[in-house]
Amino acid sequence: MAVTSRDRGVKNNDRPGRKPVKPPEDPASVGWTRAQRVRLVETGETFRLEAGGEVSPVDVEYETYGELNPAGDNAILLLHALSGDAHAAGWDAGAEAEGRKWRTRKPGWWDEMIGPGLPLDTRKYQIICSNVLGSCYGTTGPDDIDPDSGKPYGLRFPVVTIGDWVRLQARLLDHLGIDRVYAVLGGSLGGQQALEWALAYPDRVGNALVLAASARLSTQGLAFNAVARYSILSDPHFNEGDYYGSGGPAEGLAAARMLGHITYLSEAAMHEKFGRRLQDKSEPDFNFGIEFEVESYLAYQGRSFVERFDANAYLYITRAMDYYDAVKSWGRGDLTRACSRIKSRMMIVSFTSDWLYTPKECRKLALAVCRSGRPVTYVSVPSDYGHDSFLVETEKVGRLVRDFLASGRKNG
């Protein structure tokens, strides 16, 4: 199979800074992978949710890389971001199975970080990554069949929270026979899950690595998510969430992704990549079509996202991001009080050009952990890649992750 860029064929569509992908035969690759699925909540049981709803049954899709050692103390739980999934590394051998349109054959979203000899070294650790509840990638979500109606849930799916996701992940670890993880690790929305793990299950976490995330989303972040959801809900093909079997709200979802993608980048990265260059022309056409390269890039991001993601899932996941507030949930308004629950070693990493989860807010979280008396490492990484830096700056992030995990073993 020929190895190609995930974005080949569209000019200037690659995410700024991303490196070429590894073929499955590369010695540092985990090779071909296949997702596993387990029913963690059986029919007749209920999984009660923080917002008051419940769901049953519940299936969870996950992937593992590396082996659990005999002592069972080398597991790392990796938490994905908004549009991520359980497929974090290698090449998905089951991508074309089951006809689910959102499954695509591509390397995992953190392939540069996971594998033999890489920062998340599969010779030392077992890496576990699962899809969140409400996802469209195998874990029960709004595109699945509601047993009460025999039709896809759509907006009848109950509202979910990051706390719900973490409790379901804990059930997955129970199923796998893992009482305590060596580390939890995630960036962005995954970083919020890592923080929630350290707060909700302090005795089950040895190390927590929070990348490009803080205790809660900023007001500006809430505003961007609101506009993104408005784009979906206002699409004439949304049909109150019951669009399965039809074209669905493609334009609304594409617009939501275009808006969201802008928040993941920085002005410097966009200027360096695109500037004000026109798309395939030397003079403007003076119309409302695509004139600039940056417009072409965003249009591609919107189109490709529609092919791999579900609009309802986008609504549920962004809402969970909005609702997360570690200060309110665990500290009764006091972040230091919340962090006093933590028993793990912490590493919090911010990126200088990230304006979604700013260095100021990440540092505030690190100071609260420090004031609570827990060991914490805080690093502000210089980068022009914006919020996406945790995905793009793999050399810098990789060194931090490798060293922090190794120092935990020395101190443990």
**HEC readout, 174-191:** HHCCCCCEEEEEEECHHH
Question: Is 407 annotated as catalytic?
Answer: no
Among 3-17, 135-149, 270-284, 293-307, whose mean pLDDT is lowest?
A: 3-17
The predicted structure's pLDDT at residue 1: 25
Question: Is 282 annotated as catalytic?
Answer: no
Q: Predicted confidence band at 12 (pLDDT cuts at 50, 70, 90)?
A: very low
- Is residue 41 predicted with pLDDT exceeding 60? yes
Domains and CATH numbers, the chain: 32-217+326-411 (3.40.50.1820)
The C-alpha atoms of residue 124 and residue 126 are separated, in whole angstroms, by: 7
Spatial contact of 152 and 146, defined as CB atoms under 8 Å apart? yes
The C-alpha atoms of residue 274 and residue 293 are separated, in whole angstroms, by: 6
Q: Name the H helices within 234-385.
A: 250-264, 267-273, 293-308, 311-323, 326-331, 335-339, 359-371
Tell me the mean pLDDT in the region 320-332. Answer: 97
The predicted structure's pLDDT at residue 16: 58
Q: What pLDDT digit, counting tens, does each position of 163-208 carry?
A: 999 999 999 999 999 999 999 999 999 999 999 999 999 999 999 9
Question: Is 344 annotated as catalytic?
Answer: no
The predicted structure's pLDDT at residue 6: 29
* Per annotation, catalytic residue among 130, 135, 188, 329: 188
Tell me the mean pLDDT in the region 222-232. Answer: 98
Which sign does the torsion angle of CA 159, 258, 184, 138 carry?
positive
**In which region does residue 342 sit, left (phi positive, over 0), alpha (psi from -120 to 50) or beta (all else)?**
beta
Beta bridge partners of 325: 216
Tell me the mean pLDDT in the region 219-231. Answer: 97
The predicted structure's pLDDT at residue 79: 98
Percent of the chain with pLDDT over 70: 92
Residue 308's CB is within 10 A of a number of other CB atoms, namely 15
pTM of the model: 0.93
DSSP state of 21: P
User: Whole-number mean pLDDT of the chain?
Assistant: 92
- Is residue 4 predicted with pLDDT exceeding 70? no
Percent of the chain with pLDDT over 90: 88
Round the CA-based radius of gyration of the chain to a whole number and report it.
21
Q: Coil, strand or helix: which one is 299?
A: helix
* Per annotation, catalytic residue among 111, 143, 354, 388: 354
